[in-house]
Structure 1
Amino acid sequence: MRLRFAAVCAAAALALGACAVIPTTGAVNEGSGEVEGAEPLVPFAEGPQMDDSVNAIVSGFIEATAAGFASDFTVAREYLTVPARADWDPLAQVTVFDSGALTQDYDEATGMVTYSVPVAARLDDAGRMVEAQAGTQAQLEFQVERSVANQWRIGGLDNGSLVAEATFNQVFLPVTLVFASIDGTTVVPEQRWLPQANIATWAASELVAGPSPWLANAVTTGFPAGSALAVDSVVVTDGVAKVQLAAQSAGTAEQRALAEQQLRLTLTALPGVREVDVTVGGVPLTTDPQDTLSREPVPASVAALFIDGRLGLWDGEEVRVVPDAVGALPEGANNLATSYDGTRTAFRVGSSSIVGSDALAGGIDSLVAPADAGEPQGTMEVTTLVEGASLVPPGFDRYGFVWTAETNEPESVIAVSADGVETDLDARWLAGRTVEQVVPSRDGARLVVVSRSGAQTVVEVAEVVRSDAGEPLSVGEPMQVGANIGTVTDAIWVDDLSIALLGAAEGSDSVPLWIVSVGGRTTEDLAVADAVAISARHGDRSITLVAADGTVRERAGTAWSTIASGIDDLAYAG
């Protein structure tokens, strides 16, 4: 590939160096405090040259295609024959390849140029990303032929574009489209990757078009079917994005209020947008903008714990345990979970029972310091929620339901209400697998399921369809997320778009910690060598590790700092 991007950067650096002089005289003036976002650097696109070789034509086309996301692909089309220019759709699919040299093969007899491409990820025409497993290769073919002027041109190619990973990160942005939970109270996000050029237009268009099929039944939107932008451009002037909707985009008063809020939350998260002005036929979509949506609940700073055979709480500084009269944990208690209101806990007993307790409902003031505790008076009272053959660890959703599933080849996942009513939700797509984790998202609209299919770990997110009252009705077909994930021992949501997966050492001293972005990329970090459980409040910087020796560690820069000891398990809400 003929890369001219470095030369452009070098020229820009020289220009900046020539003018970056700090003034030493003159008046001191107060600034506005606002810093405009820098324009993204994009590859320089150059059209074909006279008598370019076949290799130069195809590699030049690939380079110009990447630059086309910041313009209109006009230069890239110069590499194509006239019929191919009309047929080619560069936005049908984007293949992101690992940066580096591409392997090219040219068959002169057939005029076919074939590239072997190491795939990092793929995007569809709506900006939905699917990560590729390590070693994934794609074969891209270009049919070359002589044009009327006896110049080489590409006459046959598949729709879509090929972009190097380094370039992709310069010309695309992750955008969070905002939808609402079925009860209309909570933001449910969906991440898309959209071109930075005209990003507000792209984002508004995709938001109005609605959620992806895998999520559609678990959320609500203020845009009726058939909604669209009246003008295919959202103009941003002085930080104000002006969105003009087609007439059919105006629904009921409640829908209009929600649609305005969705646009406002989605677009003001973009660089350079502070306000949103939404009109239908020149009339404001709503005259009384309201903030009815809240973000997903963030766990309280107090965590439930197991310590010395008892249930307790930890507020970040002090450990307190249940009084002697409450009793000890049942033998074999493991995998603690806590409700978002802090009044209930659930945990496994052995592997076949999920039980619940309200022993912590009185909060930390109802507990005692470990030094003041004596011998527990018998075993604490618990309520059996689920009995099974072998159940995965429990997790709470914001409605108070406890979730679990059978480990071996289940055909459903299980949700148990606060009053003990069990609901089995069809999940026959899990047949033939071993399920390891079932964790509801904090907004309650999604469920992450970690399973094993043979030796392969599969991480999937599925919609949770609920009644208006929050009762789970069904679980949808899943979307696979993450890539290159090994054995998982624990899983949590760390925010509304990120999942943390704790791995197993598997013969080495290091324990992997994967952060999976739903609709985005996977990053790998290292946990402490003997980590056995994780929990978090909000964001990957809040992840807390529990080690096999009872020490609790939290993030401290790039390392882990010990903050407590002697603890067997610890869980923030969720």
Structure 2
Amino acid sequence: MNIRLAALCAAVALALGACASIPTTGPVNEGSGEVEGAEPFVPFAEGPRPGDGVNAIVSGFIRASAAGFASDFSVAREYLTAEASAEWDPVARITVFDSGALTPDYDEAAGRVTYAVPVAAWIDDAGRMVEAEAETQTTLEFQVTQDDSGEWRISNLEDGALLAEATFNRVFLSVPLIFTSQDLTTAVPEQRWLPQSNVATWAARELVAGPSPWLTNAVHTGFPAGSALQVDSVVVTEGLARVQLTAQSAGSLEDRALAEQQLRLTLSALPGVRDVEVTAGGVPLVAEPSDTLAREPVPESVAAVFVQGRLGMWDGDDMWAVPAERGALPAGANALATSYSGTRVAFRLGDSSIVTTDALTGGTDTLEPYDPEAAVPDVAMDVSTVIEGEELLPPSFDRHGWLWTGERSLPETITVAAPGADPITLEARWLAGRTVLEMVPSRDGARVLVVSRAGAQTVVEVAAVVRSQDGAPLSVGEPLRIGANIGVVVDAIWVDDVSVALLGSSDGADSTPLWVVSVGGRTTQDAAVPDAVAISARHGDRSITLVSADGTVRERAGTGWSGVGSGVSELAYAG
């Protein structure tokens, strides 16, 4: 058992032992009305009984190891020989299996019990999840032996633990660790899955350890190399989480301010934590907390639209169009995108060029109410060509104003362009041999979503974006694969700072699949209307807006979709 786990388990055991009983006598006192976070679910753990057979020992160990995430794994170790107990690391890798009974296969001659496990996901020792594709299975083996008393015990096993999905959902918590963009203005979350019991300690320790390798070059952290918790337990008392760091964890004045914010934003999102106090070497990390980090920009409530051959805007109720004297959309206009500043829109002409226009810069004050009976102007509006290619992807804006696109077929680069500058190509050799479907930068600017096809398989990935201090993209890192069981994708968007939405193809079915994928988490599948061809969103999956092939715009209405507009062929919130 490693040292950090031993210390943590000791802290958990101490905390459990200190629980007070509920008083049954005494005066009635007025409460504050504030409710602390609910106590973590603690699975039942029972040690081995004399005379237990092989199957009872192994199945009992599996149940007890699941309960160990809420205690100290001491009951689970009762099922192991002394040597196996000393070597077993329960948190090295967690296998989450589809809930249901597991059937063991016992080879008596070899003294081996084998389980074929249907895998839902794996979690590593830092809380990073890898979701499994449907029908993924793994094999777990347990070597058993009889001790001097004739009792069966497990003598050899792989590191890690096995948890049913239902149990995992109750004993683990999704925790976004907060880092910052390279310009030190915007929070960038990295999702981890950590045990609910003493979750503040787990979260603080992983935050101090830093971001995952795939994200490292795209974000900044206020914790210098060698940072660590001085005491491997974050105590939460009456909503206050006290974090004690080593003296080596205090960097420059700017870094200390950032580190304090990272801890405060990460831990205050946990159940039962309202405030955070941080010391380094026994001294407060900062004299006064500062708030310099903002969340990712949320698109304005007004979207750009293509409406019956004209460029316009829509606020959810009313529609406006560019005045007739400004002209109609050029022939072949498609794939609309809007900048976060609202000063530029971009779209494709056919497949071979990306153009921009400032026709919506003045907002609705410079537009006219949309009249569905009005004739389409004979003259096309003025546009500026910014990127040319052969088969370009739909354009997207990042928060710095850069346009992103690339070639759909045989890609090994990504193309970005800023206003008034020549396009820049960024290497992405990991895309070789793929057909790229969508490429969308995250709202914080530190990541880019790429959806591609490798043969008949849809691949959904997020890669880190390295930038200069002024926000110019410099490179794109190796990708993190996300999502599972994704079919054909026709459109993709970010819905917030940790989730993306993917619109599928109905393929003649009564509904269209709509997948919401959490970066570093799970995939959920919903249903869109069967003729949906595009999606956009402001913030959260409940804000997703659908555009259908017949021009109908639909928004969420309970568990279904309600029509809120018509005549629209393209709709785009910022991004």
TM-score, normalised to structure 1's length? 0.94
Contact 1:214 1:463 in 2 (8 A): yes
Amino acid at match of 2:362: G
Determine the C-alpha separation between the residues in 1 that align with 2:64 and 2:386: 60
- What is the aligned partner in structure 2 of residue 418 from structure 1? 419
Determine the C-alpha separation between the residues in 2 that align with 1:266 and 1:117: 34
Kindly indicate whether residue 175 of structure 2 is the aligned counterpart of residue 183 of structure 1.
no
Secondary structure of the 1:173 match is strand
Q: 1:16-415 maps to which residues of 2 (within 5 A)?
A: 31-371=31-371, 374-415=375-416
Contact 1:441 1:496 in 2 (8 A): yes
- What is the aligned partner in structure 2 of residue 4 from structure 1? none
C-alpha change, 1:556 and 1:31, in structure 2 (3 Å) is: farther
Determine the C-alpha separation between the residues in 2 that align with 1:375 and 1:139: 64
C-alpha displacement at 1:41, in angstroms? 2.3
- What is the aligned partner in structure 2 of residue 22 from structure 1? none
C-alpha displacement at 1:373, in angstroms? 5.2
The RMSD of aligned alpha carbons is 1.4
Contact 1:404 1:438 in 2 (8 A): yes
- What is the aligned partner in structure 2 of residue 519 from structure 1? 520
Contact 1:224 1:250 in 2 (8 A): yes
C-alpha displacement at 1:370, in angstroms? 2.4
Determine the C-alpha separation between the residues in 2 that align with 1:306 and 1:364: 15
Secondary structure of the 1:114 match is strand
Contact 1:240 1:274 in 2 (8 A): yes
Determine the C-alpha separation between the residues in 2 that align with 1:31 and 1:88: 46
Kindly indicate whether residue 539 of structure 2 is the aligned counterpart of residue 538 of structure 1.
yes
Contact 1:323 1:373 in 2 (8 A): no
Secondary structure of the 2:113 match is strand
Of all paired residues, the percent bearing the same amino acid is 69
C-alpha displacement at 1:36, in angstroms? 1.9
- What is the aligned partner in structure 1 of residue 462 from structure 2? 461
Determine the C-alpha separation between the residues in 2 that align with 1:479 and 1:266: 22
C-alpha displacement at 1:103, in angstroms? 2.7
Amino acid at match of 1:276: V
Amino acid at match of 1:376: P
Q: Per-residue displacement from partner, 1:201-254 (whole Å, max 9, x unpaired)?
A: 000000000000000000000000110000101001111001000011000000
C-alpha displacement at 1:377, in angstroms? 4.8
Secondary structure of the 1:492 match is strand
Secondary structure of the 1:478 match is strand
C-alpha displacement at 1:34, in angstroms? 1.2
C-alpha displacement at 1:98, in angstroms? 0.2
C-alpha displacement at 1:324, in angstroms? 1.2
C-alpha change, 1:334 and 1:30, in structure 2 (3 Å) is: farther
Determine the C-alpha separation between the residues in 2 that align with 1:548 and 1:148: 74
Secondary structure of the 2:478 match is coil
Determine the C-alpha separation between the residues in 2 that align with 1:238 and 1:30: 16
Determine the C-alpha separation between the residues in 1 that align with 2:236 and 2:30: 26
Determine the C-alpha separation between the residues in 2 that align with 1:50 and 1:374: 88
Indicate the larger mover: 202-211 or 315-324: 315-324
C-alpha change, 1:494 and 1:65, in structure 2 (3 Å) is: same
Amino acid at match of 2:99: S
Determine the C-alpha separation between the residues in 1 that align with 2:221 and 2:287: 19
Amino acid at match of 2:419: A
Amino acid at match of 2:139: Q
- What is the aligned partner in structure 1 of residue 486 from structure 2? 485
- What is the aligned partner in structure 1 of residue 18 from structure 2? none
C-alpha displacement at 1:472, in angstroms? 0.2
Determine the C-alpha separation between the residues in 2 that align with 1:402 and 1:235: 46
Secondary structure of the 1:190 match is strand
- What is the aligned partner in structure 1 of residue 471 from structure 2? 470
Determine the C-alpha separation between the residues in 2 that align with 1:374 and 1:100: 62
Determine the C-alpha separation between the residues in 1 that align with 2:197 and 2:283: 28
Contact 1:323 1:376 in 2 (8 A): no
Indicate the larger mover: 327-336 or 54-63: 327-336
Contact 2:308 2:376 in 1 (8 A): no
Contact 1:324 1:373 in 2 (8 A): no
Contact 1:338 1:345 in 2 (8 A): yes
C-alpha change, 1:529 and 1:375, in structure 2 (3 Å) is: closer
Determine the C-alpha separation between the residues in 1 that align with 2:226 and 2:64: 35
Contact 2:106 2:114 in 1 (8 A): yes
C-alpha displacement at 1:274, in angstroms? 0.6
Where in structure 1 do 4 or more consecutive aligned residues deviate above 6 Å?
Answer: none
Determine the C-alpha separation between the residues in 2 that align with 1:482 and 1:188: 20
| Residue-pair matches, total | 549
- What is the aligned partner in structure 2 of residue 439 from structure 1? 440
C-alpha displacement at 1:316, in angstroms? 1.6
Determine the C-alpha separation between the residues in 1 that align with 2:452 and 2:568: 28
Determine the C-alpha separation between the residues in 1 that align with 2:30 and 2:363: 50
Q: Per-residue displacement from partner, 1:29-83 (whole Å, max 9, x unpaired)?
A: 9752311222122220000110101000000000000000001100000100110
Determine the C-alpha separation between the residues in 2 that align with 1:338 and 1:303: 8
Q: Per-residue displacement from partner, 1:183-209 (whole Å, max 9, x unpaired)?
A: 000000000000011100000000000
Amino acid at match of 1:95: T
Secondary structure of the 2:180 match is strand
Amino acid at match of 1:241: A
Determine the C-alpha separation between the residues in 1 that align with 2:41 and 2:251: 40
Secondary structure of the 2:61 match is helix
Q: Per-residue displacement from partner, 1:513-535 (whole Å, max 9, x unpaired)?
A: 00000011000000011000000
Q: Per-residue displacement from partner, 1:272-326 (whole Å, max 9, x unpaired)?
A: 0111010012210000210000000000000000011110001121111001121
Amino acid at match of 2:277: D
Determine the C-alpha separation between the residues in 2 that align with 1:370 and 1:251: 57
C-alpha displacement at 1:479, in angstroms? 0.4
Determine the C-alpha separation between the residues in 2 that align with 1:33 and 1:221: 37
**Structure 2 spans left out of the alignment, 5+ residues:** 1-21
Determine the C-alpha separation between the residues in 1 that align with 2:216 and 2:387: 30
C-alpha displacement at 1:406, in angstroms? 0.6
- What is the aligned partner in structure 1 of residue 10 from structure 2? none
Contact 1:42 1:167 in 2 (8 A): no
Determine the C-alpha separation between the residues in 2 that align with 1:191 and 1:104: 34
Amino acid at match of 1:129: M
C-alpha displacement at 1:357, in angstroms? 1.0
Determine the C-alpha separation between the residues in 1 that align with 2:109 and 2:378: 87
Amino acid at match of 1:265: L
Secondary structure of the 1:476 match is strand
Determine the C-alpha separation between the residues in 2 that align with 1:348 and 1:279: 53
Determine the C-alpha separation between the residues in 2 that align with 1:449 and 1:277: 39
Contact 2:443 2:497 in 1 (8 A): yes
C-alpha change, 1:385 and 1:112, in structure 2 (3 Å) is: same
C-alpha displacement at 1:385, in angstroms? 1.6
C-alpha displacement at 1:375, in angstroms? 4.4
Amino acid at match of 2:149: A
Secondary structure of the 2:40 match is coil
Determine the C-alpha separation between the residues in 1 that align with 2:115 and 2:507: 37
Secondary structure of the 1:69 match is helix
Determine the C-alpha separation between the residues in 2 that align with 1:486 and 1:439: 18
Determine the C-alpha separation between the residues in 2 that align with 1:88 and 1:30: 49
Contact 1:413 1:425 in 2 (8 A): yes
Determine the C-alpha separation between the residues in 1 that align with 2:384 and 2:147: 78
Amino acid at match of 1:87: E
**Structure 1 spans left out of the alignment, 5+ residues:** 1-18, 20-25
TM-score, normalised to structure 2's length? 0.94
- What is the aligned partner in structure 1 of residue 11 from structure 2? none
